[in-house]
Structures are given as structure tokens and as C-alpha cells.
Structure 1
Amino acid sequence: MGDACAEGPADAAAGNRLSLPALVWAPFNRPETGWEIYAPLIAREIATPCPPDSPAFAAALAAWQARQGVPADGLMTEAVFARLKDLVQIRRPFVQLSARQVCPKAPAESALALATPLEGYSGKAIQLRPGALAAYRRLAAAARAEDPWIAADPRSLTIFSGYRSPEADAARCASDGNCNGVVRATCSPHRTGLAVDLYVGQAPGFRPDSSAEANRLAMSRGAAYRWLVSNADRFGFVPYPFEPWHWEWTGEAP
């Protein structure tokens, strides 16, 4: 930890250090333990490069809390995260429509663009709206140019899911028995052709899209996800905080 990260409320930093691996909560209506998975997004939102157990992180969090008009104690809690999560989520146009109980129509598949085999994870065929695909290509090129860890793995930031038809999504969530839960939905952002699931790593023994805590934690520690958190908005992409791999392009209405 650099000297700058050591400046701030020590008591709050100590509290965050304890809760970071141990907080028992359900930020997405599913029990979880610890908040390290979300630490990169939180740090981005409160504008600090310092680690989540540092005094400077607590100071930045307290300043953010003050701007939000809530008690500025510098402690990460479920209530604090809920407020922060809402701010991140509402940047997704799909969420804005969902709040009005609007499910967008899927585009005509003839209007979609096809990614190259190298852009699809393991050569998978991926379709997106042309603007979203062009923005993804700019993002992926920048990531590989700016981060040697990403450039070293040809799988990094390849797409394992893009456009999915409403019929396919409905069948998938029905077969998984989790319709309209945290993982599957009958009205999915993937129907818009603006959402991408990107390969950002995986824990041993897990699929790239497993929502198990251990898998998401491994992703949150990786170079690809951390680069996306810091840079994806330059290309018009915003995250779904629960899934490190899921990003949505905001350059076109759903």
C-alpha cells in the first residue's frame, strides 16, 4: 500500500478489512459472503485507486457518502452498496425500460452483424447490432494494446454470448428453473443485440459464465475485468454488477 493509501480513517479501514471477506449479505437476493467481488466497481464509483481495506478507500467512501447525503462513516455495508448499486444499474438503458415495465422488442435478425470466429469465444458464432459490434472491436483493441496481460491470452474479452432471441432466452430460463431471477430472465438484455458476455477468466473447475461466488471472485481479481471497470465506459459500455462478464452498450436505444 502506498503512502497515499495510508491516509484516512483507520477505524473505518479496520472495519472494512474485517467485512471484506466476511460480510454476510444478499446484494442480489442471493446469499453471499464478503464484498471483494464488488470492490473494483466500488473503488471506481468512489474514485479511488486504493485497496478496499485501506484508510484512503474509507476516506473516499466517506466523501461519496457525504455527497449522497447519508452518514459519512467510510464503512461498506449492505445499505451503502444498495445505494451505489442503484446508481450503477440505472446507467443501463435496459434497466431504465424495465423500471417502466417495458420489455424491448428484438431487432430483426437480418439487421444484426456477425462477429468473426476470432471474436467469438472458442469460435462461437456471435451476432450483435452493428454499432455495438463496432464499439466492442474498439474496446477489445484498446484493451490488448494497453494491458499486456490481456494481450497474452487470446481468449481475453472474446464474446461467449451476444444476441439471443426472446424464444431462446425463454426456453433457457425455463429449463434452468430460474426465470426472472438473478441469472435468467424471460426478458433479457441479450434480446436487444446490445449486450455482450465477455471472457474475463474463470476459476479452476468453473465455466466462464458460472455465477458461483468463487468464480466471480477469481474474475474480479483478473486483469480483463479490472481493465473493463476502469475503461469500458470510454467505449459506451456499462456493467451488470452481479456478473463480471456482462456488459451493455449504451450508444443506441434498446
Structure 2
Amino acid sequence: MSVRFAILAAVFLATLVGAGAAKADAQICDRPTNAWDNAAQANGISLYTLEWSPFGAPEWGWETYTPLIQREIGSPCDPASPAFAEALAGFQARYGLMATGQFDQPTFQVFRGLWQERRPFVMARVRGECPEPPPINMLGYLSPQEEHAERMTRLLRRDVLEAYRRMAAAARAEVPAIAADPELMQIFSGFRDPEADAARCAAQGNCDGLRRAVCSPHRTGTAIDIHVGHVAGMGVDSTDPMSRRHMAQGPAYRWLVANAARFGFTPYVFEPWHWEWTGDDTAAGGR
């Protein structure tokens, strides 16, 4: 078999597999579920119009959170579809909520609790602990190609760095749009020295536990901020609702939501760019 023929055969097979997966998703999402039509209609409206403040500041709609929600309920379907409403109702029933199939704030609080519990750093803070930074000999240097130009960071824990490298390579191999943009998947913040972080907190006065924490997960060398895209004129870590929504709909974030657990990483729901290594590809919500 010639090399050219082998390559063509591999491409053809990949196309068939992708088409088969897309067809399967379409069959799941398009099947008749008339019982959930009203819930689907309500979700389609609230997706863009819900006025709420899940993290303190006002937001419109819940589109930013749909990739994580779709993964959690095991549905690839559009949030305005009856199939999504049916899957959401199943989730609500499992967690003792009213199984309406409609997205609401009590349901989001359950999602948020599950996502937070998967972050070992958060659970340490619940116990009243602030983890100590790792010894310097446990930290490794990022290469220039791994660092985002806007922020020059140098260090991560070595095991985390290796996991990140495997993850970034997989993302670029699996998604052409990520491979085509060398900035996507670059890191703009990794290990941060606690003393330097404390000084910046004092200088900028923004350590409110949301935008930045007094005891930051970055002190552990296991937290990374990944460039997943940004709105022109806004920073790569802008918490503006429009910016976060834009990031959450991009190819890098969507790939991370679907695949980061394979490499032991779990997200912080408020920041699409922030991921933490658990050291366990099942503890991060892997399926």
C-alpha cells in the first residue's frame, strides 16, 4: 500500500467516523419528544434573556455555561431543543429538583456545586486550608511557544506541565481551528509566587475571591490560565459577560470542556480560561 493511499484511506475513515457521530447526535437531538416542547421553548428564550447575577455582577442569558451544562447532562443537543430539556429534566430529577426540563437558578446552583467540588483546591479551602507552594525543584519552565505573548509566565509543576503538553498537542491534532491559531491553548498564567500575588492584591485591591483570591490556586503550580480566544479590545482574562460568552463558544473552550478531563484538568466555571490539574483523569469529571 502506498503512503499516499494510506493517508487517503485514513482521511476517508476519519470522515466516516465524524459523519457517523454527527448523524448519531442528530438522531438523538431530532427525535420526537413532544412532552418537552414547552420547556424547550422556555429555554430558547431564557438562553439569551434571563436577567440574573450568578457571580454577583448582572448577566443576560446563560449561553456562557451551555458547554459545561451539555457535558454534565450528557446531551450534545441545542439548549432550545426538546431533547436538551428532557436530558436536563433527568439531571434535575437525579438531584432532587423539580424535573421541569427548564433551566433555572436553583438548577445552576447544583451544577456550580458539582463543578466546584471537582477542584481539589476549592475543597482544601472549604477545610480552611491554604495549600503551600511546591518546592522550587518541583517546578519546570514553559517553552516560549507555550507562553502567551500578553503575559510572560515561566513555571508550572513538572507533572502538570507534562499533562498540559499532552493536552495541547491533542487539541491541535484533533481540531483544525485550534491548530491554525498558534495562540490558542497557550498559557498566560501558571505558578504565581504567593508573596508577589499578595503584593499585587494590595496594590490593585481586587482580591475579592472571584476575580482574584487572597489564597490563589496559582500558588500550587497546578492551575493554568489558557488562551481560549478573546474579544478585540478586551483582555484574555476579561470577566466582562460578553467576553466570557465569546470564549465559551470558541473551539478551544469547547474542546477543553469535552476533553480536558482526559488529561486530569477541571474547569473554574466563572473563568473559561482557568483550568486546574487534579492528577486524576476521572476526578475531573471524565466520562
What is the TM-score normalised by the length of structure 2? Answer: 0.85
Instruction: Name which of structure 1's ranges 24-33 and 126-135 shifts more when overlaid on structure 2.
Output: 24-33
SS at match of 1:61: helix
Gaps of 5+ in 1: none
Give 1:126 shift.
2.3
CA contact (8 A) 2:43 2:79 kept: yes
1:36-115 aligned within 5 A: 36-115=63-142
Partner in structure 2 of residue 190 of structure 1: 218
- Quote the residue 2:247 is aligned against: 219
Please state how far the C-alpha of 1:234 moved relative to its aligned partner. Answer: 0.3
Q: Distance in 1 between matches of 2:154 and 2:90?
A: 42
- The 2-side partners of 1:2 and 1:141 are apart by 29
User: SS where residue 274 of structure 2 aligns?
Assistant: strand
The CA distance in 1 between the partners of 2:83 and 2:154, in whole Å, is: 42
Distance 1:111 1:45 in 2: 34
Show the counterpart of 1:159: 187
- The SS at the match of 1:248 is strand
| Residue among 121, 127, 138 paired with 2:166 | 138
Structure 2, unaligned runs of 5 or more: 1-24, 281-287
Q: Secondary structure at the match of 1:76?
A: coil
2:231 aligned to which of 197, 203, 208: 203
Higher relative contact order (CA 8 A, sep 6+): 1
State the aligned residue count.
Answer: 252
Percent identical:
54
Matched to 2:203, the amino acid is S
Contact 1:179/1:186 (CA < 8 Å) preserved in 2? yes
1:174 aligns with 2:202: yes
1:69-106 superposed Cα distances (whole Å, 9 cap, x missing partner): 21110111111000111001100000110111110011
Give the aligned partner of residue 17 of structure 1.
44
Alignment-derived partner of residue 126 in structure 1: 154
Q: Secondary structure at the match of 1:131?
A: helix
Which amino acid counterpart does residue 138 of structure 1 have in structure 2?
A: R
Contact kept? 2:153, 2:190, Cα under 8 Å: no
- 1: CA distance between counterparts of 2:214 and 2:120? 17
Bigger drift between 115-124 and 146-155 goes to 115-124
SS in 2 for 1:244: strand
Query: Secondary structure in 1 aligned to 2:145?
Result: coil
SS of equivalent residue, structure 2 residue 146: coil
- Counterpart secondary structure, 1:239: strand
Give the structure-1-normalised TM-score. Answer: 0.95
Q: Which moved more, 1:233-242 or 1:8-17?
A: 8-17
Structure 2 CA distance for aligned equivalents of residues 82 and 191 of structure 1:
27
Spell out, residue by residue over 1:175-198, the C-alpha distance to the aligned partner (whole angstroms, 9 max, x if none).
Answer: 332223310111000000000000
Give 1:3 deviation, angstroms.
Answer: 5.2
2:29 counterpart residue number: 5
Does structure 1 conserve the Cα–Cα contact (< 8 Å) formed by 2:172 and 2:178?
A: yes
Larger radius of gyration: 2
| Mapped partners of 2:106, 2:202: distance in 1 | 32
Q: For residue 233 of structure 2, what is the amino acid of its counterpart? A: G
1:245 partnered with 2:273: yes
